[in-house]
Structures are given as C-alpha cells and as structure tokens.
Amino acid sequence: MTDFEGQKILITGGTGSFGRAMVDSILQSKESFEVIVFSRDELKQFEMRNQLADTRVRFLLGDVRDRERLMQASRGVTTIIHAAAMKQIPAAEDNPMEAIKTNVVGAENVINVAIANRVSRVIALSTDKAANPSNLYGATKLCSDKLFVAGNSLCAKEESRFSVVRYGNVLGSRGSVIPFFVQERSRGLIPITDVRMTRFWLSLDQGVRFVRASLEKMQGGEIFVPKIPSFKVVDVAHVVAPGVPHEIVGIRPGEKLHETMITPDDSLTTYEFDDHYEIIPDKFLTNQSRGGQKVVEGFSYTSENNPLWFSPEQFRETLILNGIPF
C-alpha cells in the first residue's frame, strides 16, 4: 500500500468512521509522517485526540465549505483524502442546498486549495449512489466525482493529481441498515422495503485498504471501483435478526432496488483488473501502461448482476471478523 514516508496527509471528515479507520491504519506504519484530521465536530476531535495520544496527528476544526480555512489547513500538505460529506439521504432531500454546499461546493474548494498549495495527490471518496443517481445525495456525489476528474485539466501534469474511489455500503457504519435491524428486532418486527433489494457490501477495513491501494496506483482522472460482494437486504435481516418476522413497507422515495457502480455509458472508458475496475476518460489515458482489459461496450456493474455474492454464513462470519455487533 501507499508509502507515506515524509508525507503530510490531510483527511477531511477525519473524525467520521472512515476517517478514523484511515488514521488508525496510517499510524500502524513506522514511517515518518504527519496526519491532519480536519472536521467540524469539536467533541469527536476531543475524544479522538485523547484516545490516540499520538504526536504525529494534528487536529484542525473547520468545514470544507470554508475555503479560506481549508487553504490554511492544507499548506505544506502532500496528500488529501477527501472523506467529508453530507450522507444521509432524507436529510439531503429535505435540505437540498445544505447538501450541495457540502458535497459540491466543498469538493470544489478541496480541488482549488489543492492546486493553489501544490498538493501532489488528492483522492475523494464517492458512493455507488453517484452512478445513475435517483436522489439528491447521489446527484451531489456525481457532481463531486465530475469535479475531481476535471480537476486534472486545471493544473500542470507535474503538479496536483485527482482521483476518486467509488464503493458500496460499509458494514456497520453510522446509518447502516445493520444497527437499524438490531434496534428493530427488539420490537419483534423488521421493516423490509422490498424482498428483491440488493446492495454492495464491504468492511471498513476493506475500504481503507482499497483507498490506500488506489493512492498508490493513481495517475489522475481515474474512478476506482472495487470488486466486492452483493447480498440481499432481506438476507441481512435474516442474519441479524433470525426468526423475527418482516413487514414489507415499500421502497422509499429516491431509493433503488439495486445499486449501480458502473453504468453502460461508463463502459466506454472502463478497464477491468483482477480486483477492481477503473473508469478512465480517454483524455486522461497516458502513454504509460496502466494494464487492465477494456470491458465490452454496454457492460454494467450492479448489485444485481454482480458475479460475487455473500452466502448468509459468509456474511455472518464477516460481521464477526470485523467486530460488528449484531
């Protein structure tokens, strides 16, 4: 994975579940580096600082909406991992401009300050909901993805490079269906939107390792998509709350039966590798060999047509292995 020797790494949204896991991963290294946790939650920063007690980590309060504060925080930084986002779908639907300010304007701010401060590498976290979006959250993340890819056209080749990582549902993360099902089983009834619904799933550790591997590979302009298993949401309920009856409540506005990470339109610039795909617009293809095999035109990668599937036993074992309470 990425060598952080001598690096100064800024993680936006660094007190979130992904940011915290990424900091823990980086701190396992014996290399010499500095990590800046940039977020707007002072209580989480206080708790994280006390838990880590590591002089290699600095904490800066700030919001990605605030370009000037972000400019100050990123001076001397060599790598930015952009994980800050407004992620709750109902909240985004009810407060659309707030989601746009954080997810779109915030993304533009990260790109502009990275170029101004000559940050070498910037990688942004995306979501499967950004591909063929059906809700505002997905639409804002699609805009963010487009901004980061286009950021490579705004600066000289030898300066800042921008890439994106797009993946699915993180097991046990805040807002995940797993803690929701755990909560609902106590009342003896699990609400299910649709028994056909499928989702991509990966662990937090998998997400961190994939982002670090993508940082190592990135040349600029790629959207990295991991190959991860699918699993039916109703089967998640069977694993988490066995024997508890279900209530079919119907799909909520903006929700999809199946999630997409690569659309047929994306297939024109998508390359397959052993453990991931890369969507690389033609103008960012270089003479340097990237490897991979171009997918056939019309290819799509959805949680329904995915060749990789969890069995209930594998899903249960994954939860146990990753210490996710259920």
- Reported as a single tens digit per residue, the pLDDT across 51-84 is 999 999 999 999 999 999 999 999 999 999 999 9
**In the chain, what percentage of residues exceed pLDDT 70?**
97
User: pLDDT, tens digit, for every residue of 211-246?
Assistant: 999 999 999 999 999 999 999 999 999 999 999 999
**Predicted pLDDT of residue 30:** 79
Confidence of residue 158 (pLDDT cuts 50, 70, 90): low
262-286 mean pLDDT: 92
Residue bearing tokens 């890819």: 149
User: pLDDT, tens digit, for every residue of 183-206?
Assistant: 999 999 999 999 999 999 999 999
CA 96, 98, 104 angle in degrees (round to 5)?
Answer: 90
- Sequence letter at residue 14: G
**Predicted pLDDT of residue 234:** 97
Q: Distance between CA atoms of 236 and 35, rounded to whole angstroms?
A: 36
Confidence of residue 325 (pLDDT cuts 50, 70, 90): confident
**Predicted pLDDT of residue 289:** 54
Q: Are 139 and 96 in contact (CB under 8 A)?
A: no
**In the chain, what percentage of residues exceed pLDDT 90?**
84
Which contacts of 50-59 are long-range, i.e. CB under 8 A and separated by 24 or more positions? 52/23, 52/27, 54/27, 56/27, 57/23, 57/27, 58/34
170-182 mean pLDDT: 85
Round the average pLDDT of the chain to a whole number and report it. 94
271-293 mean pLDDT: 84
Closest listed residue to residue 127, CA positions, set 23, 259, 298, 236: 259
Q: Are 221 and 278 in contact (CB under 8 A)?
A: no
Q: Are 145 and 131 in contact (CB under 8 A)?
A: no
**Predicted pLDDT of residue 286:** 67
Indicate the SS3 state at residue 278: strand
Q: Which residue out of 129, 141, 232, 256 is catalytically annotated?
A: 129
23-42 mean pLDDT: 93
Find the length of the chain: 326
Q: Are 10 and 58 in contact (CB under 8 A)?
A: no
Residue 141 annotated in active site: no
Confidence of residue 14 (pLDDT cuts 50, 70, 90): very high
Q: Is residue 180 scored above 70 in pLDDT?
A: yes
Residue bearing tokens 């979130």: 16
**Predicted pLDDT of residue 159:** 85
User: Who wins on pLDDT, 323 or 145?
Assistant: 145
What is the β-pairing status of strands 161-165 and 223-226? parallel
Q: Is residue 42 scored above 60 in pLDDT?
A: yes
User: pLDDT, tens digit, for every residue of 288-321?
Assistant: 557 899 999 999 999 999 999 999 999 999 999 9
Q: Distance between CA atoms of 182 and 271, rounded to whole angstroms?
A: 39
Structural domains present in the chain: 8-167+203-226+263-300 (3.40.50.720)
- 250 forms beta bridges with none
For CA atoms 231, 234, 236, 242, give the dihedral sign.
negative
